[in-house]
Amino acid sequence: MVKFLKPNKAVIVLQGRYSGRKAVIVRSFDDGTRDRPYGHCLVAGIKKYPSKVIKKDSAKKTAKKSRVKCFIKVVNYRHLMPTRYTLDVDLKDVVAPDCLQSKDKKVTAAKETKKRFEERFKTGKNRWFFTKLRF
Amino acid sequence: MFLIDLHSITQKKTHESISNRLALVMKSGKYTLAYKTVLGSLRSSKGKLIIIANNCPPLRKSEIEYYAMLAKVGVHHYNGNNVDLGTACGKYFRVSCLSIVDPGWYTLGSNFPSGFCAKMCAV
């Protein structure tokens, strides 16, 4: 009764290269498009999770450990597991459906999302999102 | 002793009425059967009530319940296995889970769907 596959929802990708990775919905296309006649959404997810940072680490080491590698992908709803978590990081201006058309657009979008994810990770909020799912 | 009898009586009565109500929905309303379509109806927020048979595999059952929790849709655990649920739907195949999209002629004094769910879900 309530739509839950909305932007800012944290999801887990179930199929493909990024299966098991956590992602956040940036844009959802419930009724599909001409090319994809099924419900799908544009997600931005974590390709490489940040490592565990301990108090003993130097500043240089913390910086190295807190790096996040991102991916941007269009995923069918069927290949996602929605969760009750949300991640309110504003990615709408950065990640657009057309940014997947060319390689350099994709790279710049990924770099920008990486920056936003890293600053969110450093604040210590949304800790669930930045921990690796164990399975 | 008295309490047990009362409980079994109420269970039996509501179980019959659930089957009756399901028959009414099958006749006049819209529904989808089986796991894939149930998840689809939950994703598109079309489902109003989900009914799960009691021998549905526990992982699948919890997955459907989780989706229903996100969608704020009621889940009813049918008191019978998939064979019984299929029979209750008037089908000649097994039905492990089904989603009611539109209850059809089933009208209640109380507001829908919470009243519907409350009446269909025994407790």
pLDDT at B3: 60
Report CB contact under 8 Å: A1, B47: yes
Identify the band that residue A83 occupies on the pLDDT scale cut at 50, 70 and 90: very high
Name the nearest CA neighbour of A86 among A123, A32, A125: A125
pLDDT at site B105: 78
pLDDT of residue B123: 31
The DSSP bridge pattern shows strands B74-77 and B49-52 to be: parallel
Residue A118 has pLDDT above 90, yes or no: yes
- Residue B107 has a pLDDT of 56
A39:B73 CB<8 A: no
pLDDT at A76 exceeding the cut of 90:
yes
What is the band of A96 on the pLDDT scale with cuts at 50, 70, 90? Answer: confident
Q: What is the mean pLDDT of residues B26-38?
A: 94
Residue B112 confidence (pLDDT) above 50: no
Are B67 and A82 a contacting pair at CB < 8 A? yes
- Greater model confidence, A96 or B94: B94
Check residues A40 and B6 and name the one with the higher pLDDT: A40
* Mean pLDDT, chain B, integer: 82
Q: Does A6 touch chain B (CB under 8 A)?
A: no
What would the two tokens of residue B96 be?
A: 């492990």
Q: Is A50 helix (H, G, I), strand (E, B) or coil?
A: coil
State the pLDDT at residue B120. 52
CB contact under 8 A, B70 and A84: yes
Say if residue B6's pLDDT is above 90: no
B110 pLDDT tier (thresholds 50, 70, 90): very low
Band the pLDDT of B18: cuts 50, 70, 90.
confident
* Interface list for A 23-52 with B (CB within 8 A): 30, 39
Pick from B39, B44, B69 the residue to mutate for testing the A interface (most A CBs within 10 Å). B44
In this prediction, residues A92-101 reach a mean pLDDT of: 88
Q: How far is A57 from chain B (nearest CA, A)?
A: 39
Average pLDDT, chain A: 93
Q: Does position B16 have pLDDT exceeding 80, yes or no? A: no
Lowest model confidence (mean pLDDT) among A111-115, B55-59, B74-78, B102-106: B102-106
Strand partners, B98: B33, B51
The candidate with the shortest Cα–Cα distance to B95, out of B43, B45, B13, B25, is B25
Cis peptide before A7 (omega within 30 of 0): no
